[in-house]
Amino acid sequence: MEKFLIDTNVLIYAINKDSEFHLSSRKIFETALNNDLNFFVSINNLLEFFAIVTDNKRVQNPLNPYQAREVINIIAESKIKIIHADIYTLNKSLEIAVELQKSKQVIFDFLIAALMISNDIKNIITYNTKDFKSISQITTFKPEEVIL
């Protein structure tokens, strides 16, 4: 069975009813919450989710910290598997950055990529497909491209 990591932007759009991407993101989110399919998120995705959905400069209708934590708790108690970094994934993300000669904020995408590689996850569901196109081990899908 294919494994999929759900990127932060899909989580955000899934709860943001004002987003044009809400319906397709919500479908992925609800399917992942309730089914024994191979859906994953990383600790990094959850922290980024919290930071963005509670920031009124980044979303039109921010959640308060309690609400954001509750969404994360729902994810943690669901069928979605949560993966986390270790020294291997840190080194792998730095290796990718050096190999691609990239720096700055993109390192956080490389950490997600390293987590995926170390957990044998080849697919990411994201609207930021360009962020992962340079990493040959990863295939990107927009939510509406995933057939459930």
CATH number of 110's domain: 3.40.50.1010
Contact in structure between 117 and 103 (CB atoms under 8 Å):
no
Q: Are 143 and 21 in contact (CB under 8 A)?
A: yes
- Look at residue 1 and tell me whether its pLDDT is greater than 80: no
Is 145 contained in some domain? no
Residue 37 covered by a domain: yes
**Residue 139 pLDDT:** 97
Number of domains in the chain: 1
Instruction: Tell me if 41 sits within 8 A of 6, measured CB to CB.
Output: yes
Q: Is 40's pLDDT higher than 90?
A: yes
Query: What is the pTM for the complete model shown?
Result: 0.93
Strand partners, 140: 124
In a domain, 118, yes or no: yes
Q: Which domain holds residue 115?
A: 3-139
Specify if 72 maps to a domain. Answer: yes
138 vs 55: CA distance, rounded Å = 30
Asked, for residue 112, whether it belongs to a domain, the answer is: yes
Average pLDDT over residues 22-47: 94
Q: Is residue 146 part of a domain?
A: no
Query: Is pLDDT at 66 greater than 80 in this prediction?
Result: yes
Model confidence at 85, in pLDDT bands (50, 70, 90)?
Answer: very high
pLDDT band at 102 (very low <50, low <70, confident <90, very high): confident
For residue 133, give the 3-state DSSP assignment.
Answer: coil
Q: What percent of the chain has pLDDT over 70?
A: 99
Does residue 147 lie within any of the structural domains? no
Q: What's the pLDDT band for 101 if we cut at 50, 70, 90?
A: confident
Examine residue 96 and state whether it is found in any structural domain, yes or no. Answer: yes
Region of poorest pLDDT, from 1-15, 52-66, 98-112: 98-112
Which helix H or strand E contains 51, and what residues bound it? Answer: helix 43-53
